[in-house]
Structure 1
Amino acid sequence: MSQSSPRVLSIQSHVVHGYVGNKSAVFPLQVLGFEVDAINTVQFSTHTGYKTIKGTVLKNEEMEEIVEGLIANDVHYYTHFLTGYSRSADSMKQVAEIIKKLRKKNPKLIYVCDPVMGDDGKMYVPEDLLPVIRDIIVPLADIITPNQFEAELLTGLKMKSVEDALRVTKAFHDKGVKTVVLSSTELGDGSKMIGLASTSERCFKIEIPKVDSTFTGTGDLFAALFLAWSHKTNNDVKLTLEKTIATMQSIVTDTYDNARKSQATGALSPAMRELRLVQNKDVIINPTIKINAVEIKPH
């Protein structure tokens, strides 16, 4: 098998309608030139923000069977491995075993972990996931993309300032994570969020304008884009952060503006807030950087 194209195994949720999990990650990776193999941990009609959810959950033994099939056919060479939302501690333990098997085939495999556990001070996964992600998954990750709440949960450190954020990133580096990305923090003001990306040598901060709505699937998209641009820029963390944020801002703003054309005021329905990925294919391939990241140093 030719190993010329980067090849990703993405284990995430799947929705028939809309864009979260693998639906949010696979298309951007493909248009950026990555081969993507996807294992869908759930197959739901829509994401859980809709009033009715129907669908099925992949059992752990079924996931194991799929991976065994890939290994048996010797098609389990991957350059990258990506995981997102999981509701089960057992399935995350299984993910750890899958990583070990894939690294036997390719010791240079890069694992990008989006440790989806909660936001705004609330966990929306079972609490028994926390020790599994913190103690088993994080030490296996090369790149990790938590939001502020998740980063605080995983390190046990609070983040009230940029200095605090640097301590949090250092705690992840000390566990062996090469690149730590705080995809969103509340360290900005009412109009801006702050994102941070850190390697053991350097740390960059970027100010992200807030949009007057919330969107589902943005974290999944962020992790996929950061994976892609890390590879394409040869791990230039500043440029990767800028390209990722540029793409995110374009898609979120376009989704919001498009929704407001059909509904000028009031709360937007989940269906109107589905990310417009296909319509922004050109932006994904070639984002225009409008916001630059700035290097920050510990005092």
Structure 2
Amino acid sequence: MNILSIQSHVVFGHVGNAAAVFPMQRLGVEVWPLHTVQFSNHTGYGSWKGRVFDGFFVDELLEGLAQREILHTCDGVVSGYMGSPDLGYAILGAVERVKKENPKALYCCDPVIGDVGRGIFVRQGIPEFMAEHACSVADIMTPNHFELEYLTQQSIHTKEALKHAIESLHAKGPHIVLVTSVHLEDTPHDALDLVVSEQGQLFRIRTPKLDIVLNGTGDTITALFFVHYLRTRCIKTALCNATSSVYGLLKKTELASSREILLIAAQEEIVSPSWYFEAVPL
């Protein structure tokens, strides 16, 4: 399996491609990482060095891949933090080019916009790009609670409201929606829910809420879910496997009091999770 991963990258730590590429490789996938950003570290540290690349850079690298005559072997494209709207258009152009060579390829878009408690933290124009353009192209979208509310312009506090919002996002384009973190009225204060939906089937999985806040967890779970779905074509299996692995990684990270996900030290959690969580119909 070959996956083109178009995301940000950091020299130190694990966000963007630095949080997604290794987990996919650990599952035996050939990953083609294309960096939209190269920073010294993620912005959560308050200071960083580096730069955001432009859309022409993405176009140039795609042209190089096309010259190798390998795009027809690409099974999927995954994207995350974009940095600027012009990068978004370049990514959609890359998706179009891959799908032209391989119509069976899928596009998984993590619509990085913001988060509960932080609000919108991306550049102006990116949220609008996600809502107006990315939604109509993506086969799979993986918003968090805040991003689902933004994309659908709906407030989500109950199961009924969540289902309605997911249906609204489906109507925009993606046939699979994975909500990577959601807290509803019936979610215990010490738990976290994830929900996946496809063709009227909805599953929820619940894990204990860990006393840890990390950057890059959404990038990792999106990557793992995408790989497991491409292999099984089963949203329930993909959700259970991805969630169990990410929980294991985070639990080991919490026990080590690390500020960065222990992707390397706890890598066995990717292939053989210590904890397994079962999804149930929502």
Q: Show structure 1 runs of 4+ deviating over 4 A.
A: none
Q: Letter of the aligned partner of 1:218 in structure 2?
A: T
C-alpha distance 258-165 of structure 1, shift in aligned 2 (>3 A): same
Q: Letter of the aligned partner of 1:197 in structure 2?
A: V
Structure 2 SS opposite 1:278: coil
Partner of 2:247: 249
Q: 1:285 aligns with which of 256, 271, 282?
A: 271
8 Å Cα contact 1:243/1:289 also seen in 2: no
Structure 1 SS opposite 2:177: strand
CA distance in 1, matches of 2:143, 2:47: 28
8 Å Cα contact 1:113/1:143 also seen in 2: yes
Does the alignment pair 1:148 with 2:145? yes
Does the alignment pair 1:179 with 2:176? yes
TM-score normalised over the length of structure 1: 0.90
Does the alignment pair 1:27 with 2:13? no
C-alpha distance 52-132 of structure 1, shift in aligned 2 (>3 A): closer
CA distance in 2, matches of 1:102, 1:24: 23
Partner of 1:98: 94
Structure 2 SS opposite 1:112: strand
Does the alignment pair 1:79 with 2:87? no
Larger CA deviation: 70-79 vs 216-225: 70-79
CA distance in 2, matches of 1:37, 1:29: 11
CA distance in 2, matches of 1:284, 1:84: 20
Q: Letter of the aligned partner of 1:237 in structure 2?
A: I
Q: How many angstroms does 1:38 deviate by?
A: 0.7
8 Å Cα contact 1:215/1:275 also seen in 2: yes
Partner of 1:227: 226
Q: 1:6-60 deviations in whole A, cap 9, x for unaligned?
A: 1100011111111000010000101111110011111111111114301122222
Partner of 2:41: 46
8 Å Cα contact 1:243/1:288 also seen in 2: no
Q: 1:233-267 deviations in whole A, cap 9, x for unaligned?
A: x22111211111111111001001011xxxxxxxx
Partner of 1:262: none
| Unaligned stretches of 5+ residues in structure 2 | none
Q: 2:11 aligns with which of 13, 16, 32?
A: 16
Q: How many angstroms does 1:97 deviate by?
A: 1.4
Q: 1:188-223 deviations in whole A, cap 9, x for unaligned?
A: 232012110010131001112111120111000010
Q: For the pair shown, which has the larger CA radius of gyration, 1 or 2?
A: 1
TM-score normalised over the length of structure 2: 0.95
Structure 2 SS opposite 1:49: helix
8 Å Cα contact 2:37/2:83 also seen in 1: no
Q: How many angstroms does 1:167 deviate by?
A: 0.7
Structure 1 SS opposite 2:267: helix
Q: How many angstroms does 1:132 deviate by?
A: 1.4
Q: How many angstroms does 1:123 deviate by?
A: 0.1
Equivalenced residues, count: 278
Larger CA deviation: 213-222 vs 173-182: 173-182
Q: How many angstroms does 1:288 deviate by?
A: 4.7
| Unaligned stretches of 5+ residues in structure 1 | 1-5, 260-271
Q: 1:69 aligns with which of 64, 75, 78?
A: 64
Q: 1:71-124 deviations in whole A, cap 9, x for unaligned?
A: 122122310100001121111112111111111100111111100000015000
8 Å Cα contact 1:142/1:176 also seen in 2: yes
8 Å Cα contact 2:75/2:105 also seen in 1: yes
Larger CA deviation: 128-137 vs 32-41: 128-137
Larger CA deviation: 30-39 vs 87-96: 87-96
